[in-house]
Structure 1
Amino acid sequence: MGKLLYGATMSLDGFIAGPGDDMQWLRDFLGPDPVADELVAQVGSCLVGGRSYRGDDPNMGTEKEGPFGGAWEGPQFVLTHNPPDVAVPGITFVTDLATAVTASKAAAGDKYACIIGADVGRQCLEAGAVDDVLMFVAPILLGDGVPMFRHLGGAHIRLNPPRVHRTDHAVSLWYTVRR
């Protein structure tokens, strides 16, 4: 069964989306990055929050739309209170966290189930389900928006020291959660 990875690009002040869930700011920071490029092959499934699924994509309307700039395809599990009435190919809509985590990890095989979305990331961290945290910190201050980490229920989540990689577009910090 796969491991659960919470990863995102965030501004230096901690936002993964701007006001109104705007992701267009990210376009300037989507450059070559060996950590991101290598990650794509390590992802077996995605666990996506409902707001992220319905939200903005910095590559919207291009051939690069979708997870990892369109470089990844595979099973996606969307955690939502309001699943659509009509099925969407390649997408499984799930209404409870435990089922979403179990299904996405099982679908990932021996790879990562990658969390996409701040709220589902928070829920998985609070539940103690996250194995790794990967932050790409972009050199920008957004000043407002959707924080990567919002109120983790007062829990202290210990992390091992990160693996660090730097490019002109971001600094990546890859942490393993201490058990």
Structure 2
Amino acid sequence: MRRLTFGMNLSLDGYIAAPGDDIGWSVPSDELFQWWSDRVGATGLALYGRKLWEAMSSHWPTAGQQPGATPAEVEFARRWLDMPKVVFSSTISAVDWNARLATGDAVTEITRLKTEDGGPMDVAGATLAAAAMRAGLIDEYVIVTHPVLVGGGTPFFTALDSWVNLNLLETRTFPDGVLLTRYETRR
């Protein structure tokens, strides 16, 4: 059975984007950018909500070809293009770049995907992750906390009907006071 991980950058007060979808506070250090790139390289299947898909697919397909692209950006762009993706949306009609579109019930499809053979899955996007979180489908949380308070915006966690107990798997400090914590869902 595939493992499902939800991991993102977030502010100390728990948001993945500030009001107005501002993520300017989460610019990674070179070390953190490489960590995220390695994570993309190890992902067997990425699950995207529409909003994050539109942001990522508008940038990464050509980012590695832009003048001034760093070797790390070229590598990330290649890894992102190579990574298989499923995009969950009822409002877009087509996707590219090694992705397929899922228009049905997200929880049903994620549950089915977890039973397939293959490498680990990452869920990306607050709304999609919230549905998986409420359904108890997330096996691991990767929280990359930046030392900033943004005061509101898009939260990392959603409201839950019951507690979810977690086991700490890893902590790591990155430059600029950024802290990685990884937790596994206790089943």
TM-score, normalising length from structure 1?
Answer: 0.81
Q: Which residue of 2 aligns with 1:160?
A: 167
Does structure 1 residue 14 correspond to structure 2 residue 14? Answer: yes
Indicate the RMSD between aligned Cα atoms, in angstroms.
2.9
Give the Cα–Cα distance (whole angstroms) in 2 for the partners of residues 31 and 108 of structure 1: 33
Q: Distance in 2 between matches of 1:159 and 1:174?
A: 10
Larger Rg: 2
User: Are 1:5 and 2:5 counterparts?
Assistant: yes
Quick one: distance in 2 between partners of 1:6 and 1:79?
Answer: 15
In structure 2, what is the equivalent of residue 97 of structure 1?
106
Q: 1:7 to 1:58 in 2, by over 3 A?
A: farther
> Which ranges in structure 2 are unaligned for 5 or more consecutive residues?
none
Moved more, 12-21 or 71-80: 71-80
Say yes or no: does 1:45 pair with 2:45. Answer: yes
TM-score by length of 2: 0.78
Deviation at 1:37, TM superposition (A): 4.9
Instruction: Answer 1 or 2: which has greater helix percent.
Output: 2
Q: Which residue identity lines up with residue 12 of structure 1 in the other structure?
A: L
- For residue 63 of structure 2, give the secondary structure of its aligned residue in structure 1: coil
Q: 1:127-164 CA deviation, whole Å, 9 max, x = no partner?
A: 11111110000111122211101222x22111112411
Aligned residues between the structures? 173
User: Aligned AA for 1:113?
Assistant: M
Is the contact between residue 133 and residue 176 of structure 1 (CA under 8 Å) also seen in structure 2?
Answer: yes
TM-superposition CA deviations, 1:17-43 (whole Å, max 9, x none): 12222233322x243137535423431
Task: Determine the structure 2 residue equivalent to 1:62.
Answer: 63
Q: Distance in 2 between matches of 1:55 and 1:8?
A: 14
Structure 1: 5+ residue stretches without partners? none
